[in-house]
Structure 1
Amino acid sequence: MNTFPSTSDTAAPTPAAAAATITARRIGVLLVNLGTPDSPNTPDVRRYLNEFLTDGRVVDMPAAIRYPLFQGLVVPLRAPKSAKIYKELWTERGSPLLFHGLDLKEKVQAALGSDYVVAFGMRYQNPSIASALEELRVAAVERIVVLPLFPQYASASTGSVQEKVMDIVKEWWVVPSINFISQFATEPGFIATIAARGRAEMEKHHYEHVVFSYHGIPERHVKKGDPTNYCRFGSCCDTLTDQNQYCYRAQCFATSRLVAAELGLSPDQYTVAFQSRLQSRLRDPWLQPYTDEALKEFPAKGIKNVLAFSPAFVADCLETTIEVGEEFKELFEESGGGHWQLVPSLNSEPQWVDAVASMIRRN
């Protein structure tokens, strides 16, 4: 006798009912910034610099040369000097890059809600990318969105984070879907937040000129990422195209144009320049113009009041607070300038939190 129910006895479950029986799976989010020493003391700074400067994407020379040169010579000489600067930067909460990152993580988690698990890691030192990914693995997330907190793509920053993430997850037995947000140089929320921070400073003081100062990289890094041989380090960066969409220099100019437009600046009212260069014995050229050289020429042109942005950094750090905010200010004043003002980074401003959450939802 047939013991199976007939179609007249039992209705087939609807797609909605079937879907309701599946437990909701959460999405993992990994926010990553560059890194910071565990303390401003020389041993911790040395450990940080050793890890940072021996990364083959940061210093792209053969490992047989890179490790002895930097671990044996450069880092031991540089660590005590860097430690003094980090002590100037350190606050009661520790490293600004770290606590701003942790604040951003908490606020983005609140904005995204319980359907997401947000983790934060550093490319170098702590909290590590490995520990952040382990949080997401243990949470059994369905997939992971990785957002390196570098607006403009560079192999030495975003590329290094992507490589590290893939190197870690290749050891997992189960590897979920992973999506990288490789750059957000022209992201509307990012641009709007920078402009809002700048506008707040412009309401306090009159400025004759604006400087957009980006972290420099060697020109060869740009050329190595140009398979079409499109790059000329000139007008080729005036627009973003399929050929230069991952050109760091072109993205820096694109960010600057968009922020300038938001602030109503004409091209002659702002300068795009690059900071933090390292000069090698080979005099390997870095992206130009150099910020420290450009600002010295302003007073002779009648520019006495300058507003400075650091749009390559989304959190206050040594390169913003100390280099742009203090060292460049002193250099500008010594050259005859009057007022130099750094626009604070985005940190964990509500508008920036909303922009990050929006990028993650779309990806």
Structure 2
Amino acid sequence: MSKKGILLVNLGTPDSTATADVKKYLDQFLMDERVIDIPKLNRTLLVKGIIVPFRSPKTAKLYREIWNENGSPLLYYSKLQAKMLQERLGDEYQVELAMRYQNPSIASALDKLKSGLVESIQVIPLFPQYASASSGSVIQLVMELVGKWPTVPPISFVNSFHDNELMIKVFAENARKHQIDTYDHVLFSFHGLPERQLLKCDHTGSYCLKSSDCCQTLNDTNKFCYSAQGHHTARLIAAELNLPKEKYTVCFQSRLGKEPWVQPYTTDVLKKLAGEGKKRLLVFSPAFVADCLETLYEITVEYHEEFRELGGEHVQLVESLNDSPVFIEALAGMIK
């Protein structure tokens, strides 16, 4: 019986916490032309000459903080999601997992699907909100690789799933476990992007960042904008939890370099809320479907410590989708 191929792709993780493995990961990640979208010579000098040599030892140390008996949490949960999805879909489907950077590679996963003689391939980049540097990069590489095959099967992509009802319900349920009413404020902290990458997604050239509220509503002009989709995800989760607008803030973390990134920055919001006397913060990170360095360390450790130094008391992470059966139903719904 011919099977339908499903390829799940997450961002990636080093093979281990050894500095050499972290260096390989950062090098592949940051040399992606969609991640640092500057001329190749400049990117090479910046990444290989400055960022990777200096950041690798520090980043390796951070990975050691979140590594556990299962290894990388991101890889562990991604493998579990693929396994659960395969069980949910049954023998009519062949589900493979890949990482955009490092292992298992997209090339190896595609080879498994080809060897499995699948009749079609559906690719789901595991990023709820579309960004050129994440979903766009996955789609480009898959097209490049499959485009070299003598026979190209029918292939389709899930562009984004920022408004998926079941995903929204999982995030909301995870938040309810923490007794939301005991927190002074709620943050929806998304991974950051340079503003120039948002501008490139505005094909009109006359909408993006022309006003302070351009991302507050999702429309035909900004429907593929990472920030606008993020705000939409936050609104849907807030609505599911009956959170009033004044109770939550959308912000962006993981800024790199000095040029403007999507704002407001999470660190600035922490300072503002501490200055207002807020003591306890509940933080979502809805750009990720599995807990990883950005959630388990940046939010749970760094932002918690920073907020306490500012006079706050506690920053609590709302866990990601991880091994939720409801999220697996969401994936199955995208496929079927």
Q: Same fold (TM over 0.5)?
A: yes
The CA distance in 2 between the partners of 1:318 and 1:267, in whole Å, is: 29
Deviation string 1:112-160 (CA, Å, 9 cap, x unpaired) is 1111100000000000001111111111111111000000000000000
One-letter amino acid of the counterpart of residue 310, structure 2: S
Q: Does 1:292 align with 2:267?
A: yes
The partner residue of 1:228 within 195, 200, 204 is: 204
The CA distance in 2 between the partners of 1:81 and 1:262, in whole Å, is: 39
The CA distance in 1 between the partners of 2:250 and 2:65, in whole Å, is: 27
The CA distance in 2 between the partners of 1:80 and 1:87, in whole Å, is: 11
SS at 2:203 equivalent: coil
* Displacement of 1:359: 1.1
* Displacement of 1:299: 2.4
The partner residue of 2:30 within 47, 53, 73 is: 53
SS at 2:214 equivalent: helix
* Displacement of 1:256: 0.4
The alignment-based identity, stated in percent, is 51
The CA distance in 1 between the partners of 2:168 and 2:212, in whole Å, is: 23
Deviation string 1:291-350 (CA, Å, 9 cap, x unpaired) is 011112212213111100000011010000000111000111111112211011111211
Deviation string 1:169-196 (CA, Å, 9 cap, x unpaired) is 1111111111100100111111111111
Equivalent residue number for residue 321 of structure 2: 346
Q: Which has the larger radius of gyration?
A: 1
The CA distance in 2 between the partners of 1:140 and 1:195, in whole Å, is: 39
* Displacement of 1:238: 1.8
The CA distance in 2 between the partners of 1:274 and 1:236, in whole Å, is: 16
The partner residue of 1:319 within 294, 303, 308 is: 294
The partner residue of 1:115 within 83, 88, 92 is: 92
The CA distance in 2 between the partners of 1:119 and 1:90, in whole Å, is: 23
- Alignment map for 1:1-363 (pairs within 5 Å): 24-202=1-179, 206-229=182-205, 230-232=207-209, 234-279=212-257, 283-361=258-336
* TM-score, normalising length: structure 2: 0.97
CA RMSD of aligned residues (A): 1.1
The CA distance in 1 between the partners of 2:266 and 2:37, in whole Å, is: 24
The CA distance in 2 between the partners of 1:274 and 1:199, in whole Å, is: 23
* Displacement of 1:258: 0.3
The CA distance in 2 between the partners of 1:245 and 1:334, in whole Å, is: 39
The CA distance in 2 between the partners of 1:200 and 1:52, in whole Å, is: 35
The CA distance in 2 between the partners of 1:300 and 1:76, in whole Å, is: 37
Deviation string 1:264-306 (CA, Å, 9 cap, x unpaired) is 1000000000000002xxx310000000111122122131111
Equivalent residue number for residue 21 of structure 1: none
One-letter amino acid of the counterpart of residue 201, structure 2: G
Runs (4+) of structure 1 moved beyond 3 Å? none
* TM-score, normalising length: structure 1: 0.90
Deviation string 1:201-225 (CA, Å, 9 cap, x unpaired) is 126x711210000000000000011
The CA distance in 1 between the partners of 2:154 and 2:254, in whole Å, is: 36
The CA distance in 1 between the partners of 2:3 and 2:212, in whole Å, is: 45
SS at 2:86 equivalent: helix
One-letter amino acid of the counterpart of residue 225, structure 1: C
The CA distance in 2 between the partners of 1:292 and 1:360, in whole Å, is: 38
- Gaps of at least 5 residues in structure 2 are none
The CA distance in 1 between the partners of 2:314 and 2:21, in whole Å, is: 35
SS at 1:31 equivalent: strand
The CA distance in 2 between the partners of 1:69 and 1:264, in whole Å, is: 45
One-letter amino acid of the counterpart of residue 246, structure 1: F
